[in-house]
Amino acid sequence: MATAPLKYPSHWKKAKSEGRRISMATCYDFSMARLLSRSNVDVLLVGDSLGMVIQGQRSTVPVSLDQIIYHAEMVRRGAPEKFLLVDMPAGSYHASMESAVNNAMRIMKETGADALKLEGSSPYLVSVISRMVESGIPIMGHSGLTPQSVLTAGGYRVQGKTSDSAALLKEAALELQAAGCFGLLLELVEADVAKKLTEDLEIPTIGIGSGAGTTGQVLVFHDLLGLDPDFTPKHTKKYADLAPIIVEAMNQFAEEVEKGDFPSEQNSFYS
């Protein structure tokens, strides 16, 4: 049964207090958004993961501000009623406080986003988030593995596996909550640590690769639908296996064209 939609960031905290689980999926274009608008998924995330999933980049770092806006505009048009969360791409909030707030405001104005997501928890980033929230921009934090800084982090590794690492994650989470974040995405965080963080925080957590103890879960659209047969990470689950179905459909189309079976009379127009 569909639950009441999450219209505003303030609804997220209420959802957690009621024990509601929040579902989130990435979405990158109008066609995807139209399909997801008919689903019970709570939140659409225009993630900078589009750099890898859509553009074929090796990381999320090359994604530009203009590109994230371009994709978010399409998603909003396709799913005007869904809660739309948009990533701020690498470099768009790091140079200065002024440019960070200006870029955040530009995304909000041009895309119709409901909220933005920023990675990291350095003192500078915490102050940036605080300023954005003061400026009326709802912000979700992102802790654990932060793909925009994966080069300095030494690769894609599970976070919180040691007591020191877990303590740092807790400190960061509390600072992000104090800065005004309405929620926190936990990526590749050891499952027990993520569960404890969720219990310690007032704000909801959304997990990816962080176990079942978070308030909600997010998956990449292409991963959960099995659109890439060569990518099967442990943290994801295929709810459909569409890659072979798509290939078979295209092969059938090509064969019918070659044989002259398509178009048929019913696909043709006559005067």
**Measuring CA to CA, which residue among 119, 132, 93 is closest to residue 186?**
119
The residue from 134, 187, 190, 258 that is catalytic is 187
Give the helix ranges, DSSP H, for the chain: 10-17, 30-37, 50-53, 65-78, 97-111, 123-134, 150-153, 163-179, 191-200, 221-224, 242-259
Separation between Cα atoms, residue 30 and residue 142, nearest integer Å: 25
Separation between Cα atoms, residue 57 and residue 44, nearest integer Å: 22
| Three-class SS of 202-222 | CCCEEEECCCCCCCEEEECHH
187 in catalytic set: yes
**Measuring CA to CA, which residue among 39, 42, 37, 59 is closest to residue 50?**
59
Separation between Cα atoms, residue 90 and residue 65, nearest integer Å: 8
The single residue listed with the structure tokens 């990435």 is 26
Helices 163-179 and 123-134 sit at what angle, rounded to 10 degrees?
A: 20
Alpha carbon dihedral 173, 174, 175, 176, in 10-degree steps, equals 50
Q: Which residues are catalytic?
A: 187
